[in-house]
Amino acid sequence: MKVGFIGLGVMGRPMAKNLLKAGYEVVCCDHHPEHVRELTDAGAAAAANGCEIARQCERIITMLPNSPHVKDAVLGPGGVLEGARPGTVLIDMSSIAPLASQEISRACAEKGVEMLDAPVSGGEPKAIDGTLAIMAGGKRAVFDQMTEMLRAMGSSVVYCGEIGAGNTTKLANQVIVALNIAAVSEAFMLAQKTGVDPAQVFEAIKGGLAGSTVMNAKVPMILGQNFKPGFRIDLHIKDLNNALETGHGVGAPLPLTASVMEMLQTLHADGFGSEDHSAIARWYQKIAGCEIGG
């Protein structure tokens, strides 16, 4: 089966490669020629734009930075809908605003194109090894048809509801992750300032109720002051902005999310936007005047 893939960034490239490894023919495009060359060297075919991809493929994946990029790739000049035929399935795996997913889906429906919103969680490491968590919204029957293909990229593929539900689920995920990192940073700064070794605190509490996947992944990075990006602060700013806009639109209060957003914006202004979101700890270190684990 031919699968179109639009967007070959940090996540998109390994995801497309995993489709190739699973035996799918991949036709891809991206604004960066070197990314396209990397995929063609791995066995994919190249296309000029989404329209050209849609003329060749009945299954098309988009993996792009944010809502405007997806709208442009699907609805804009040279976009997917210019070349798509009725029966084509578009799977947007970007993390965008749920209302934007619904808007794009309505435009797709007018052309007889089905759509799933299926954002992912797990970052580059899980994109590389094909163990992403994929959360999908759309028609259940379409999801069922696409599940096998999605499993080439993820170890967890879960149906969440109608179109937009995938991105709502992803926003909930991103809120929890951001608040968890902030809580971990706050707690371990408390330990640091009271003279208790944060590494010992970690060992003592990680198996209890306070333990979490976020703690296990991020505390060693914070203790080592290793903020090499797995998921960049600037990307988390984008996700929390979508969460806050969605919350405002539906009347859901997000006061804790807004507080962490201000921390992230400060870190961006201080030049740390390309660091891992575990660098939320830097905000506490700046205020407290010392390093966690230092």
Residues known to be catalytic:
170
R_g over Cα of the chain: 20
Q: Are 115 and 88 in contact (CB under 8 A)?
A: no
3-state class (DSSP) for residue 100: helix
Q: How far is CA 12 from CA 36, 93, 210, 228, 253, in A?
A: 11, 9, 33, 19, 33
Which has the closest alpha carbon to 102: 33, 30, 163?
Answer: 163
Q: Which residues contact 72 (CB under 8 A, 6 or more apart)?
A: 79
Query: Which H or E run contains 217?
Result: helix 213-223
